[in-house]
Amino acid sequence: SADGLNYVAGGNGLYGILDIGNSSVIGDVNSGNVISGNTTGISCSGCIGIRVFGNKIGMAYDGITAKSNSTGIFLGGGGLDAIIGKSDSLTGNLISGNISVQIWVNDYTDVSIANNIIGPNKTGMSAPVATVHGVYIDHVNATNVIVGGLLTEERNLISANSIGVNVVTSGV
């Protein structure tokens, strides 16, 4: 059901969005998606060129209330070229409220994670859920993964997770 602005249904069970294609764009700068209540919010397996902009992943439409996924975003399966937010102020995602991992990178090459709020609610002041990992990078084949950047606009706010960024492999 809906109350005018907030869609208040449950999740899809396994995946909010399962992407196995090329050049996908999930969300946009004007009206991103609310992806919540699933085992995995966005799962990209073997994708080439995925872009994720302006979404609320693991949160309700208000950006304050958790509507948890277990994992917010999963990148794996030998994928290449992922951009999760970028330096433009309108392209960042709110990735929060997820139970075990906000962003999990496994067997993926060339990943940029920039200008996102990862952990706290949209105000940046409090965590809706105690999440274990903000960004979890694992597997020998996860290479060229950049979290943040040199420019102020590329910085992520990673807070209120048990571990902010956990790298458990070489080659990153």
Please give the pLDDT value at position 127: 81
Per residue in 12-47, pLDDT (tens digit) is: 889 999 999 899 999 987 779 999 999 999 999 999
Please give the pLDDT value at position 2: 35
Q: Rounded to whole angstroms, how far apart are CA atoms 153 and 144?
A: 20
**Contact by Cβ (8 Å): 157, 126:** no
| pLDDT above 90 as % of the chain | 74
Q: Which residues contact 159 (CB under 8 A, 6 or more apart)?
A: 118, 119, 120, 124, 127, 134
Please give the pLDDT value at position 89: 73
Q: Rounded to whole angstroms, how far apart are CA atoms 71 and 73?
A: 6
